[in-house]
Amino acid sequence: MMSPDIYELERQRIFDRCWLFLGHESEVPNPGDYARRVVAERPLFFARSREGELKVFHNTCPHRGALICRTDHGNAQVLQCFYHAWSFNTSGELVGMPDIEGYGPDFDRADFGLRSPRYESYQGFIFVCFDPEAVSLREYLAGAAEYLDLVADQAPDGMKVIPGSNRYTIKANWKLLAENSIDGYHALPTHQTYFDYMANEAGNDIPAINRRRGFGRSLGNGHGVMENDAIYGRPIAMWHPYFGEEARAEIQGIKDDLIARHGSAKALRMCEKSRNMVIFPNLVINDIMAVTIRVFQPTGPDSMDVTAWQMVPAGETGSRLNRRLDSFLTFLGPGGFATPDDTEALESCQQGFRSGGVEWSDLSRGFHRDPRGNDELQIRSFWRRWQSLVADRPHVEQYERGLTPGEIPDVQPSPELTVAADD
């Protein structure tokens, strides 16, 4: 968790090769809309062309490399580089430049359009990949696609990202947040204040958290999910006392609509279950008391930048939207019950690793039973993928051949169960 050499390998073997989340199509709904991001330390932006097509570009001028898009979002017919005033439309075409005659008759503006990385969209979620040989996005998502479907299908008019975001820095290794996001084991001790608050709102039903049922699941390619009973209410379609009696009928109406559109099995799964999913390497979808998109960009072996967005049904307004926003901010917002707790926990782990007293992180919980929601199967799936991409070949071959630790010499302790603290 502290090695610059390992971090450099991660940049080359993970972030230069995997599909990485960029944004959501709903952020650029109109022709000329654009939004910029930094992905794997690369400046990018995505836009809606005049024809309504989604476009993704490297945020760099083909002339001298300066940033083209210098604000986080907006709407423009033309994006102009401030350095030499080369101008581009939202299709990436070079449409204007001072003194074009100075370049002579052989200069072709078509050769100097904005460059695009490889990009694909699934259910409105936009991903980029810097490896031309990588599999398609749909193949990469594997079982995670099912859970993105559960989010996207919640609204008849589609889902959208609310304007604005939460941004903060955590002084800890990025992999710790990947673990934390699908770690049900920490929920009760770390977030006790939140559960006490919610239990009090429900008539002091404090033991309810211990009665919830759930499971962990590996989704392939390092993705993992934990799914549990949503015992503390979901604005989507599950009433809770803190919503007030006046909200009961409206929330039941949402549930009835979901059942009518999707059938009972899928609708009740949307309404009465909560899901935390990691899409390897650095995207988190929290489909719990609100739908949150969270992405973390490593900035070194001991730091990361985190951005979170709220996602809601496109047509949602009034009390429904207010309940959802309040639930999001109460738990997942920058000053909510959960985010400061998790930040403190991860920074505490990073500080502890510096002592040298912990060589391995134990990930064996639930290894010998059917995976429960607070077990660690889903975390082990993340680390197996990490191992296959970053670690030395003997360990990679172990997983490719399905060998146990005892069948490979000099592999102790088992990487299946433990993770080196200095990785």
Distances (CA, A) of 365 to 183, 274, 373, 400: 11, 21, 11, 23
pLDDT at 418 over 50: no
153 contacts: CB under 8 Å, gap ≥ 6: 261, 262, 266, 270
Kindly state the average pLDDT of the residues 59-66: 97
Tell me what the pLDDT averaged over the chain comes to: 88
Kindly state the average pLDDT of the residues 101-113: 93
Distances (CA, A) of 166 to 136, 163, 328, 335, 370: 30, 11, 11, 10, 36
Model pLDDT for residues 77-93, shown as the tens digit of each residue? 999 999 999 999 999 99
Instruction: Give the 3-state secondary structure percentages of the chain, helix then strand then coil, rounded to 5.
Output: 35, 25, 40
d(CA 113, CA 4): 36
Say which residue, 191 or 76, is predicted with more confidence.
76
> Quick one: pLDDT band at residue 412, thresholds 50, 70, 90?
very low
pLDDT at 197 over 50: yes
d(CA 35, CA 75): 9
Residue-level pLDDT at 1: 78
Residue-level pLDDT at 211: 64
Kindly state the average pLDDT of the residues 341-356: 94
Residue-level pLDDT at 406: 37
pLDDT at 48 over 80: yes
Pair 228, 212: CB distance under 8 Å: yes
d(CA 379, CA 217): 9
Kindly state the average pLDDT of the residues 203-222: 75
Model pLDDT for residues 248-280, shown as the tens digit of each residue? 999 999 999 999 999 999 999 999 889 999 999
> Quick one: pLDDT band at residue 297, thresholds 50, 70, 90?
very high
Mean pLDDT: which of 61-70, 194-203, 324-333 is highest?
Answer: 61-70
Kindly state the average pLDDT of the residues 278-306: 96
Say which residue, 209 or 363, is predicted with more confidence.
363
Residue-level pLDDT at 203: 65
DSSP E strands, 209-335: 214-220, 223-229, 273-279, 283-287, 291-300, 303-313
d(CA 423, CA 358): 12
Phi-psi region of 91 (alpha: psi -120 to 50; beta: other; left: phi over 0): alpha
d(CA 304, CA 177): 9
Model pLDDT for residues 120-156, shown as the tens digit of each residue? 999 999 999 999 999 999 999 999 999 999 999 999 9
Nearest to residue 287, comparing CAs of 126, 150, 145?
150
Pair 224, 182: CB distance under 8 Å: yes
Residue-level pLDDT at 195: 81
Kindly state the average pLDDT of the residues 293-322: 94
pLDDT at 383 over 90: yes
pLDDT at 409 over 50: no
The SS3 call for residue 224 is strand
In the chain, the domains with their CATH numbers are: 20-133 (2.102.10.10), 144-357 (3.90.380.10)
pTM, two decimal places: 0.90
d(CA 340, CA 90): 39
> Quick one: pLDDT band at residue 218, thresholds 50, 70, 90?
very high
| Other CB atoms within 10 Å distance of the CB of residue 13 | 15
Residue-level pLDDT at 52: 96
Model pLDDT for residues 16-40, shown as the tens digit of each residue? 999 999 999 999 999 999 999 999 9
